[in-house]
Copies of this chain bind each other. A is one copy, B any other.
Amino acid sequence: MRADKRRRLERAGWTIGNAGDFLHLTDDERQFIDTKLALAEGLRHLREQLGMTQTQVAKRFGSSQSRVAKMEAAHRTVSTDLLLRSLFRLGANQRDVARFLNQKSRVHAA
C-alpha cells in the first residue's frame, strides 16, 4: 500500500503508525475494514446519486452532518450497523449492499 491508501485509512480513524504496523492486521481484520470501506463508499455514491448534501441526509436520518461525514469516511466510531441502516434509509436494498461488497476492494495488502 502506498500513501493514498494509507491516508484513507488514517482519515478513517485507524491509528496506523506505518506500513509495517498495517501489515500486523490479521487477514480477517483487513477484510472487515475493507467491508466497512465498501459500505461507506456505497453510501457516498448513493447520496451523490440522489443529489443530496451530507446535511440533508443528516436531517433525514435525524443525525448530524458530522456523523454522516464520518460514516462516509468509515471512521472507527461508525459501526457497520449504522452504515447498513443508513444505506437502507437511502433506499438501497440487500442486493445493492451485496453488490457493494463484491466490488473489488479498494484497499489491498501492501
Chain A residues with a Cβ under 8 A of chain B: 27-29, 31-32, 34-35, 38, 79-81, 84-85, 88-89, 93-95, 97-99, 101-102, 105
The residues of B that contact A79 with a CB separation of less than 8 Å are 79-81
Report whether B93 and A31 are in contact in the complex, using a CB–CB cutoff of 8 Å. yes
CA distance A20 to B88 in the complex (A): 22
The residues of B that contact A84 with a CB separation of less than 8 Å are 32, 35, 80
A105 in contact with B94 given A79-B80, A80-B79 (CB within 8 Å): yes
Looking at the assembled complex, report how far the CB atom of A4 sits from the nearest CB atom of chain B, in whole angstroms. 21
Most buried by B among A88, A94, A97: A94
A31 in contact with B88 given A80-B79, A80-B80 (CB within 8 Å): yes
The residues of B that contact A97 with a CB separation of less than 8 Å are 35, 98, 101
Chain B residue nearest to A105 (CB atoms) is B94
Looking at the assembled complex, report how far the CB atom of A35 sits from the nearest CB atom of chain B, in whole angstroms. 6
Report whether A32 and B88 are in contact in the complex, using a CB–CB cutoff of 8 Å. yes
Report whether B85 and A94 are in contact in the complex, using a CB–CB cutoff of 8 Å. no
